[in-house]
Structure formats: structure tokens, C-alpha cells
């Protein structure tokens, strides 16, 4: 018989001691530890494990070696396994082939203690002998810390899982049975197989020498003596090392689940049970689904205890557009709320009091599109955009004329001098109105004619005769524009020059000065008043301009114009109909004549209780006059024919001070509104 012998370990020991190899320098076996070798036939190869030392000296420790040969005896490789710090002896006792490698069982023996302190180790390599993991059987219950060294492990693969059987004591040991998974773990939660640090190296250049052996026939002694059996009762104990008792796992699938749309959920029944049975017959420890329904599982632990639990799965139905577009007035705010979510993100942040709150206050100054991202505890997300439109506050200007010595009350304050007052009038619906009141004193007589063109207001106040019967005109110009007045001009009869003021003179009114051109040719034959430097007529300011024309002139209309900075022009026509002239002339309207630009004159304004209303534009027609407060309530109604003389209305003494409206509706369908102030 031809046998190949492996020689390695620095000539310290041989797998088989062969005298014929003495020429290699084999040392005396007095300094060698006896080698142990186990051979197995796996995977069309011969696997062997052997334990021993491969170095000289008293500090040498036992390692073990894994060797793989072909079925023809050719050496494929040799791997050495040992303690990284040489603190323990390693003795391999059994090798078992598994689908993806080899399981090796053995003993870990401390160098400085006796054999009874040995502990079992288990390791796994791949098919090429590369170490995958190593575990050490340890514990503090019974005699598990005193492992026997003389009896080898009984290693086996059963039911697809690795087992090993050994005694637990050096002398009168019990039987120890360990069942593991493919990674060296046990089926319960006990930590009896912690990781064990083992080094693994490739043995370089091992010797593979053929030798010649002879074989002889051996006859074994046989006996037909009867086999005697005796009943023996064994006591079985399950040890749980360094942990709680077995079979204490509690089944809990968790609370009911609200699932986001287009998502899945996995229910976990736990890994500590022996068997699982879900409602559809599946037997895994987990169950994945995305369908609404009730899911349940029954489990059995290794002690035979059974538990059941169920959980309801529903789908979150989140609205796509929770907030409609909204409209607010300038200066107002809008509060929106979206409760029930875990996280919030609002934007833009500039007009928000909070970007991460469920309730936020929006106060934009311009039209703004807002966004919201919100997520539920289940991770469901809703998204929305909505537009908030900001309406500008209505703005209007009121001119309140009062007589010297009278008072006007606005906003709870009393005024006795010309002034400009701005108030916000609350609205029952819609937006509040910003009203600018221009307070100015004037004669008791209402203007003869009023024209408003753009932001300019022209009022023909009166026409008087001087001693030479020249007509003297007073015209008030109010500029509510932001741009200042450059000049204003009043039409003169063709070919005539105003009597006063003189050409090149300076006209002064309200501490403002104007250069006079008399006559002026552009844009029409007129008298022009041009503002001097530093003179500013704007933002509601008013000036009264005066001039005289020769006695023979009596125009029915006065063409007026104005130029504002930088190049803005405003023109209109004032008529002189019904404007009283002292002394009165026989000039007057004929039957059926109409005034251009009908107006509703109201005086005095403020009034103490008696209101005169100029309805001469509708002389001969029935007019309906209504007194209305600022809340739109009708307080007083008067119906009567209009005449050239003003109509008199006696206001109720119970009418409180404040701002009111007088509405006129004539028989021809005309509707006009004028404001007045009651000041007792």
C-alpha cells in the first residue's frame, strides 16, 4: 500500500511518525505532544483535523490543523487554527461537512489550569478552509464550565441543523446536547455561544511524501452472547445561560395601522417562537401586505404555549386641497388650521407667524400663494397650495366747509381751523374705507358750480360787482394729487384783459405766491397764476384765486386748466348759471334750460340741524331726499317739487353728531349723493 505522509510544524511532530524520514531532522518525541488525527471523506476529498504544536520550546501551545487531500492522496491545502495570544490550547475533536463549508468541534484548554477547565468550541469554515465564525460554549450553570477532554464530541447534521453531544464533567459527567442554527446560534434567546477569537493561517510549503505500508488480515473475536439491556431513567435539564427563563416571549403585532396610499406594511410576530400560522395559512414570522383588512397570527413557543394576536390595517385618505383660495382686506390677517398631523412646513415664511405649527396666522401685504406640507404619524404626507388675495382699502377724499367760529367733530376730536384729517370708516361688509377729510372755512353760500377732473377740484364760489360794475370772480382750486401744481389758468373773453391782478404782479393766498400773466395766450386766452419756487399745492391743499373782468363781459362758461408736475394737464368748464351776482342782474335761465354738469349743493356744512339743499338743476321736478347714516340706515325722507330756491330740511333733534349722507333721486332718474356733518 502506498501512503502519502504530511510533514509540517517545523519538524516538531508528524501526523504519523515514520523512522524512514529521520533524514529530515525529526526531533525526539520527548519534546512533542502526541498528535490526534481524525479523517473524513467529504466532497470527493479527504478532510482531516489534527492537534499539536508546531514550534519548539516550553512556551509552545497546542493548535489544530485542517488538511484537505484529493481522493488520490494529493495535498490540496493545510490551514492552522490557534489562539491569537497563545493563551490556550486548542484540540480539534470532530469535523462535519455542511452545504457551504465545514463545522469543527473541539476543546479550548487554558495553559495554566487543569483539563477540567476545558470548554467546548465550535467553528465553521468555507469549502476552502477559510474561517467564517467561531463560538465558545460558556456559562455558569451546573458543570458546563468543566468540559471533558478525553471524550470526543459527537457531531452530526440532523434536520438541516448542526448538533453535538458531549459529557459535561471530567469524571461522572452528564450528557450535553446542543442544537444550533447555521450561524452557531441556539433556538432560544440564551447567549450560550458567544463569539470566540481564533486565528487562522495558511501553512506554507507542507511536505507530502509517499511511503510504502503493508497490510495483514485481521480476524476479530466474535461472540453470540445475548445482549442484556437494563431500563435507565434519565433526568433532562435545559440550561439558559445568563438570561431570562425560556418561553417568556409575548406575541404583540402592535397597534392598528393606518397605511399611506401606495405603501406596504410588514407585521412582525417575533423570532422567538417555534411555529407561526397566519390567517391565510402562511407560516413565516413576518407578513407583508398593502391591502385593507384584519390580520391575525397564532404562534406556539418551544414549551408548547400558544398565543394569538390580530391587527387592523386601514388606508389613510388625505384630502388633496384642504384650503380654498381666500380674499382679505389690506392690513387684515387670516388664521388657518390643519390639526392631526405630526410635522408641518408652511411657506413662504415672510408673512407667517409660524412655519411648523398646526395653526398659523397669515398677514400678507400683497397677493401671496402659500404652500403646506404635513405628515401623519404613519408617514402619510399631504400637500396643498392656496392663494390669498389682498384687496386694497377703498380711499376717498371729503371736503368739509365750515364757517368761522363753528366747529367740526371727526373721530371724537373737535376742529375749529382748516385741517386735513384721515380716518378709517369700518365697513359692515367688504373692506374698511380710508377717508381723507379736508376741513376749510368758506362763506355760507354754497359754490355756484363744482367740477372735479381727476384729482383736481374747481369750485366757482361767487361773482360780485365792484363800483365800476366789473365782475369779480372767486374760484377755489383743490389739488388732491401727490404732484404739485405748476400753474392754473382761467379763460378770459376774447380780446379782453383782466382788470386785476395786473400783468407781472404777484398774487398771494394762504401763504403761497403766484406770478400773474395777464393776458396769457397758451393753451387758450386766459389769466394765468404760476406757482413761485417753494410753493406747493398738493395732497388736498386748496387756494382761492380772484380776478376781475370788464363790466360788459358776462360769460356763461369759464374754461379752466391746470398743469401739474412734471407734465400733467387737467382741464374742465365751470358754468356761471344761477351764481348770484350783487347787485343782481336780469340774467337768468330761460324755460327748459339745463345746467352743464348737475350738482347737489348742501349748506351749511357742518349744520346744527337745518340743512339747505340746492335742487335748482331739477326745478319743476319732484325730488326724493333721504338722510342716511354711515351704516346705510335711512333716518329721514322728504318728497317735494324742486325749485330754484334751496329746499330746507329740518333734521331730527335726536340725530347725533357725526357724518351723514343725503341722497337725491329726481323724477328724470338722476341719483346723486352728498355728505354732510351734523355739529350741534
- 3-class DSSP string for 361-388: EECCCCCEEEEEEEECCCCCEEEEEEEE
Average pLDDT over residues 289-296: 90
pLDDT band at 168 (very low <50, low <70, confident <90, very high): low
pLDDT at residue 162 in the model: 80
> Is residue 519 pLDDT above 90, yes or no?
yes
Mean pLDDT throughout 588-600?
41
The whole-angstrom separation of Cα 412 and Cα 631 is: 17
C-alpha of 671 from chain center: 55
d(CA 507, CA 422): 30
End-to-end Cα, the chain, rounded Å:
143
How far, in Å, CA of 595 to CA of 589, rounded?
A: 9
This prediction has a pTM of 0.33
pLDDT of residue 514: 95
Burial code of 315-331, b = ≥16 C-beta within 10 A, e = fewer? bbebeeeebeeeebeee
Q: Residue 509: which residues within 8 A CB-CB, separation 6 or more? A: 543, 544, 545
Mean pLDDT over 479-499 rounds to: 93
Residue linked to cell 355739529: 679
pLDDT tier, 296 (very low <50, low <70, confident <90, very high otherwise): very high
pLDDT tens digits, 422-456? 888 777 677 888 888 888 765 545 788 899 999 99
Read off the pLDDT of each residue in 626-642 and give the average, rounded to a whole number. Answer: 85
Radius of gyration of the chain (CA): 58
C-alpha cell at 25: 531532522
591 compared with 516, residue with greater pLDDT: 516
Range 296-302 contact pairs with CB under 8 angstroms and sequence separation of 24 or more: 297/251, 297/253, 297/267, 297/269, 299/251, 299/269, 299/270, 299/273, 299/275, 300/273, 300/274, 300/275, 301/247, 301/249, 301/272, 301/273, 301/274, 302/187, 302/188, 302/246, 302/247, 302/273, 302/274
C-alpha cell of residue 167? 459529557
Per-residue b or e along 215-231, where b marks 16 or more CB atoms closer than 10 Å to that residue's CB = eeeeeeeeeeeeeeeee
Region 6-26: mean pLDDT is 31
* C-alpha dist (Å) from residue 87 to 223, 255, 562, 573: 49, 52, 112, 120
Amino acid at each position: 500500500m502506498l501512503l502519502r505522509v504530511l510533514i509540517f510544524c517545523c519538524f516538531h511532530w508528524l501526523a504519523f511518525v515514520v523512522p524512514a524520514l529521520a533524514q529530515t531532522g525529526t526531533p525526539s518525541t520527548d519534546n512533542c505532544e502526541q498528535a490526534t488525527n481524525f479523517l473524513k471523506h467529504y466532497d470527493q476529498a479527504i478532510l482531516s483535523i489534527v492537534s499539536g504544536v508546531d514550534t519548539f520550546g516550553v512556551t509552545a501551545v497546542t493548535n489544530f490543523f485542517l488538511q484537505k487531500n484529493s481522493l488520490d492522496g494529493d495535498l490540496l491545502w493545510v490551514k492552522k487554527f490557534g489562539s491569537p495570544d497563545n493563551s490556550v490550547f486548542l484540540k480539534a475533536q470532530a469535523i462535519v461537512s455542511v452545504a457551504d463549508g465545514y463545522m469543527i468541534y473541539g476543546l479550548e484548554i487554558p495553559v495554566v489550569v487543569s483539563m477540567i477547565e476545558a470548554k467546548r468550541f465550535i467553528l465553521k469554515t468555507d469549502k476552502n478552509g477559510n474561517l467564517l465564525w467561531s463560538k465558545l460554549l460558556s456559562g455558569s450553570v451546573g458543570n458546563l464550565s468543566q468540559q471533558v477532554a478525553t471524550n470526543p464530541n459527537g457531531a452530526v447534521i440532523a434536520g438541516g441543523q448542526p448538533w453535538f453531544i458531549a459529557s459535561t464533567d471530567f469524571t461522572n459527567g452528564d450528557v450535553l446536547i446542543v442544537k444550533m442554527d447555521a450561524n452557531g446560534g441556539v433556538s432560544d434567546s440564551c447567549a450560550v455561544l458567544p463569539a470566540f477569537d481564533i486565528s487562522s493561517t495558511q501553512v506554507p510549503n507542507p511536505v507530502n511524501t509517499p511511503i510504502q505500508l503493508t497490510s495483514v488480515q485481521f480476524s476479530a473475536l466474535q461472540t453470540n452472547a445475548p445482549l442484556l439491556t437494563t431500563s435507565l431513567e434519565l433526568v433532562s435539564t435545559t440550561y439558559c445561560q445568563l438570561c431570562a427563563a425560556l418561553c417568556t416571549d409575548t406575541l404583540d403585532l402592535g397597534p392598528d395601522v393606518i397605511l399611506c396610499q401606495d405603501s406596504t406594511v410588514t407585521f412582525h410576530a417575533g423570532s422567538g417562537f417555534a411555529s407561526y400560522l397566519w390567517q391565510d395559512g402562511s407560516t413565516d414570522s413576518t407578513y407583508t401586505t398593502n391591502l385593507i383588512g384584519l390580520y391575525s397570527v397564532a404562534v406556539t413557543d418551544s414549551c408548547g404555549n400558544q398565543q394569538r394576536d390580530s391587527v387592523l390595517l386601514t388606508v389613510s385618505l388625505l384630502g388633496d386641497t384642504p384650503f380654498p383660495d381666500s380674499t382679505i382686506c389690506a392690513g387684515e390677517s387670516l388664521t388657518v388650521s390643519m390639526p392631526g398631523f405630526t410635522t408641518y412646513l408652511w411657506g413662504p415664511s415672510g408673512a407667517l407667524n409660524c412655519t411648523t405649527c398646526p395653526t398659523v396666522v397669515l398677514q400678507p401685504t400683497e397677493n401671496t400663494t402659500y404652500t403646506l406640507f404635513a405628515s401623519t404619524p404613519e408617514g402619510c404626507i399631504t400637500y396643498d397650495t392656496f392663494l390669498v388675495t389682498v384687496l386694497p382699502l377703498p380711499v376717498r377724499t371729503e371736503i368739509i366747509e365750515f364757517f368761522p367760529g363753528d366747529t367740526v367733530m371727526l373721530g371724537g376730536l373737535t376742529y375749529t381751523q382748516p385741517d386735513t384729517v384721515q380716518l378709517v370708516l369700518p365697513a359692515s361688509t367688504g373692506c374698511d374705507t380710508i377717508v381723507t377729510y379736508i376741513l376749510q372755512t368758506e362763506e355760507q353760500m354754497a359754490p355756484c358750480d363744482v367740477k372735479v377732473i381727476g384729482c383736481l377740484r374747481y369750485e366757482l364760489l361767487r361773482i360780485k360787482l365792484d363800483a365800476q360794475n366789473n365782475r369779480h370772480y372767486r374760484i377755489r382750486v383743490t389739488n388732491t394729487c401727490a404732484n404739485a401744481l405748476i400753474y392754473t389758468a382761467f379763460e378770459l373773453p376774447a380780446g379782453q384783459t383782466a382788470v386785476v391782478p395786473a400783468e407781472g404782479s404777484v398774487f398771494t393766498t394762504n401763504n403761497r405766491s403766484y406770478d400773474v400773466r395777464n393776458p396769457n395766450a397758451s393753451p387758450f386766452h386766459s389769466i394765468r397764476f404760476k406757482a413761485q419756487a417753494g410753493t406747493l399745492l398738493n395732497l388736498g391743499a386748496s387756494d382761492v384765486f380772484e380776478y376781475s373782468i370788464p363790466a360788459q363781459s358776462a360769460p356763461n362758461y369759464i374754461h379752466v386748466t391746470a398743469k401739474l408736475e412734471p407734465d400733467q394737464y387737467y382741464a374742465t368748464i365751470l358754468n356761471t348759471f344761477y351764481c348770484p351776482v350783487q347787485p343782481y342782474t336780469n340774467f337768468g335761465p330761460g324755460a327748459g334750460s339745463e345746467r352743464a354738469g348737475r350738482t347737489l349743493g348742501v349748506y351749511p356744512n357742518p349744520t346744527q340741524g337745518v340743512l339747505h339743499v340746492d335742487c335748482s338743476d331739477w326745478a319743476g321736478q319732484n325730488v326724493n331726499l333721504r338722510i342716511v347714516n354711515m351704516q346705510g340706515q335711512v333716518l329721514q325722507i322728504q318728497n317735494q317739487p324742486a325749485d330754484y330756491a334751496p329746499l330746507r330740511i329740518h333734521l331730527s333733534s335726536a340725530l347725533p353728531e357725526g357724518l351723514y349722507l343725503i341722497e337725491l333721486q329726481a323724477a328724470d332718474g338722476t341719483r346723486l349723493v352728498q355728505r354732510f356733518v351734523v355739529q350741534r
